[in-house]
């Protein structure tokens, strides 16, 4: 079927027109392929952004926990020093 299409195109357009038509078709296929790839990349980018946001939130939570533990140790250390002395 494709071969028939190519033959008819060649007969209608002649050699130069045929080459141009083939190049146009090739460019259209390449453009379509690139659009699909860009769409897939956009989906990946969105997923990575969500994951990045989630990790930032976890990091903030962990930083708060570390700060609380530091404060607790400081308070405990002061308390122990005052009760011993």
What string of pLDDT tens digits covers the 85 residues of the chain?
A: 667 777 777 777 777 777 888 888 889 999 999 999 999 999 999 999 999 999 999 999 999 999 999 998 888 866 555 555 4
Counting Cβ atoms within 10 Å, is residue 18 exposed (0-12), middle (13-18) or buried (19+)? Answer: middle
Write down the pTM of the prediction. 0.54
Q: Is the dihedral of CA 57, 59, 61, 67 positive or negative?
A: negative
């Amino acid at each position: 079927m494709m071969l028939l299409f190519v033959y008819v195109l060649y007969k209608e357009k002649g050699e130069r027109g045929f080459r141009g038509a083939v190049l146009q078709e090739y460019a259209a296929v390449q453009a379509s392929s690139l659009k699909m790839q860009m769409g897939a990349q956009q989906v990946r980018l969105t997923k990575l952004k969500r994951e990045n946001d989630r990790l930032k939130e976890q990091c903030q939570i962990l930083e708060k926990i570390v700060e609380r533990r530091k404060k607790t140790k400081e308070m405990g250390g002061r308390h122990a020093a005052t009760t011993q002395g």
